[in-house]
């Protein structure tokens, strides 16, 4: 339990800082994406704004240093953190991303604000990362899990159930609102007006419930997903099928994306291709300015996975060569380096998420250790009970033996008395 504490040390903080700002070799990046700034230049920019300078000075030294390294161009940016993801992913990009992940063309009509979350009777709030409404009336909850959590599917079911209930309540409210507006309009007409419009039939129908999609992007997959090492994306069917063959449309749909498994799949594929190439079986294109023949073009879905999962310069280079539109997003990240005030407005939130994620992980580790200790204690108790039962059985056997011996002794004494009496005769 010694690892559970309220505050991290300096070295631990630097390790955790890589979650937000992963180290990178900027010299291996395409020239358009390189950014090199002097430390003094960054400090001068921060000092221009007293409020920004104050916030910077209030940071812990470890946080100051990792932020400075980012401004200087020596570190990348983990876009999986909520403030950066929402800044980079505008509606058009989000539509393209969701279309690839969901395997169908989607059109977003509304991005719901966080304050629209429904509060339960107990006062708790189910917090979701990002919810959007699509043109077909369905809803999408996009969840990003930076650290591995227990029971990811059960969590997703809770999110989906909450969205279905919220949609039901919204439809009932719309029904009441339509009837109220009709009554107000009708009462405002002059007396004796002929040809009044009939009351609108806005009746609730359970078929009005539209599907809800929960998409979970996992940076670190749980053991259950690691059993499928060859698959990094899992989608449920559009239908619920019964054992009789009956099919009904699925209201709750789930998609799980494992970024760590995607990285391993691509790394293994590239290593295998390089190995085949060195044996001379495939070789390279004769033209130097073309890509080797043994590297196939990535799909757009894979391009998005690379953007979210990899900060390696070679992956970034290949990504923007095959999909130049991604270069704009990397350039926007570089704009954060040139304008510290914009970055400073988001970094506090990112650090808070980092701290909460670390604390959450520590708490889960503590619970896991506690469960392990409880299991060990139970196993020891069971072993002691077995020993106690064995000892009790031995004691019972000894008692029975002693009783038998006493009975035999009594019989011997009786026989001895009978012999003595016979001898006296």
Element (H, E) at 76: none
Q: Are both 53 and 155 inside the same structural domain? A: no
Which one, of 253, 262, 254, 255, lies nearest residue 220 by Cα?
A: 262
Q: Flag whether 197 is in a domain.
A: no
pLDDT band at 124 (very low <50, low <70, confident <90, very high): very low
pLDDT at 115 (0 to 100): 47
**Number of neighbours of residue 389 by Cβ within 10 angstroms:** 10
Which of 330, 357, 384 marks a domain boundary?
357
304-316 pLDDT, tens digit per residue, is: 999 999 888 999 9
Q: Which position has the higher pLDDT, 362 or 35?
A: 35
Question: Above 60 in pLDDT, residue 12?
Answer: no
Same domain, 171 and 40: no
Label residue 29 by pLDDT band (50, 70, 90): confident
101 lies in the same domain as 242: yes
Strands (E), 113-251: 130-134, 139-145, 212-218, 233-235, 239-241, 247-249
| CA–CA distances in Å: residue 145 to residues 138, 257, 353 | 23, 10, 11
- Report the distance separating Cα 13 and Cα 61, nearest Å: 10
Residue 412 falls inside a structural domain: no
- Provide the number of structural domains found in the chain: 2
Query: For 423, which DSSP code?
Result: H
Does one domain contain both 171 and 55?
no
pLDDT of 122 above 50: no
Lowest mean pLDDT segment, chosen from 48-62, 87-101, 130-144, 188-202: 188-202
| Domain termination residue (choose one: 357, 389, 420) | 357
Per residue in 131-145, pLDDT (tens digit) is 899 998 899 999 988
Which residue, of 289, 310, 331, is where some domain finishes? 310
Does residue 330 sit in the same domain as residue 216?
no
Structure confidence at residue 280 as a pLDDT band (50, 70, 90): very low
pTM of the model: 0.71
The angle that helices 39-47 and 61-71 make with each other, rounded to 10 degrees, is: 110
Do 131 and 141 form a contact (C-beta atoms < 8 A)?
yes
Asked whether the predicted pLDDT for residue 220 surpasses 80, the reply is yes
Which residue range(s) make up the domain with 216? 79-185+202-310
Q: What percent of the chain has pLDDT over 90?
A: 27
Lowest mean pLDDT segment, chosen from 15-24, 85-94, 176-185, 348-357? 348-357
262 and 326 co-located in one domain: no
Q: Are both 71 and 180 inside the same structural domain?
A: no
pLDDT digits over 332-362, tens only? 988 888 888 878 878 777 776 666 655 555 5
Under the banding of pLDDT at 50, 70 and 90, the label for residue 200 is: low
């Amino acid at each position: 339990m010694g690892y559970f504490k309220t505050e991290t040390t300096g070295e631990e903080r630097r390790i955790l800082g890589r979650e937000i700002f992963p180290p990178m070799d900027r010299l291996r990046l395409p020239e358009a994406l390189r950014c090199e700034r002097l430390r003094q230049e960054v400090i001068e920019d921060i000092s221009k704004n007293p409020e920004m300078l104050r916030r910077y000075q209030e940071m812990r030294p470890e946080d100051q240093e990792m932020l400075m390294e980012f401004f200087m161009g020596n570190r990348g940016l983990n876009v999986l953190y909520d403030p950066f993801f929402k800044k980079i992913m505008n509606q058009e990009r989000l539509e393209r991303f969701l279309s690839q992940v969901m395997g169908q063309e989607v059109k977003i009509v509304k991005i719901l604000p966080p304050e629209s979350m429904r509060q339960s009777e107990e006062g708790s709030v189910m917090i979701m990362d990002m919810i959007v409404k699509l043109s077909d009336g369905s809803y999408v909850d996009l969840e990003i899990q930076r650290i591995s959590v227990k029971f990811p599917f059960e969590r997703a079911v809770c999110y989906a159930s909450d969205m279905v209930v919220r949609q039901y309540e919204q439809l009932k409210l719309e029904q009441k609102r339509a009837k109220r507006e009709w009554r107000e309009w009708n009462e405002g007409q002059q007396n004796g007006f002929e040809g009044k419009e009939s009351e609108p039939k806005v009746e609730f129908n359970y078929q009005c419930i539209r599907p809800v999609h929960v998409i979970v992007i996992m940076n670190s997959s749980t053991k259950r997903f690691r059993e499928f090492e060859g698959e990094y994306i899992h989608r449920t069917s559009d239908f619920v099928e019964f054992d009789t063959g009956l099919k009904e449309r699925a209201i709750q749909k789930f998609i799980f994306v494992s970024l760590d498994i995607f990285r391993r799949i691509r790394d293994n594929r590239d290593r295998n291709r390089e190995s085949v190439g060195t044996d001379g079986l495939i070789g390279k294109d004769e033209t130097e300015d073309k890509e080797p023949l043994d590297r196939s073009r990535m799909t757009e879905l894979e391009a998005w996975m690379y953007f979210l999962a990899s900060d390696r310069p070679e992956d970034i280079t290949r990504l923007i060569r095959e999909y130049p539109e991604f270069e704009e997003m990397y350039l926007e990240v570089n704009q954060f380096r040139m304008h510290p005030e914009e970055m400073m407005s988001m970094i506090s939130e990112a650090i808070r998420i980092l701290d909460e994620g670390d604390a959450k992980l520590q708490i889960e580790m503590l619970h896991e250790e506690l469960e392990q200790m409880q299991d060990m204690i139970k196993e020891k108790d069971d072993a002691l009970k077995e020993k106690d039962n064995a000892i009790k059985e031995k004691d019972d056997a000894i008692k029975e033996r002693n009783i038998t011996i006493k009975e035999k002794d009594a019989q011997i004494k009786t026989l001895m008395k009978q012999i003595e009496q016979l001898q006296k005769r």
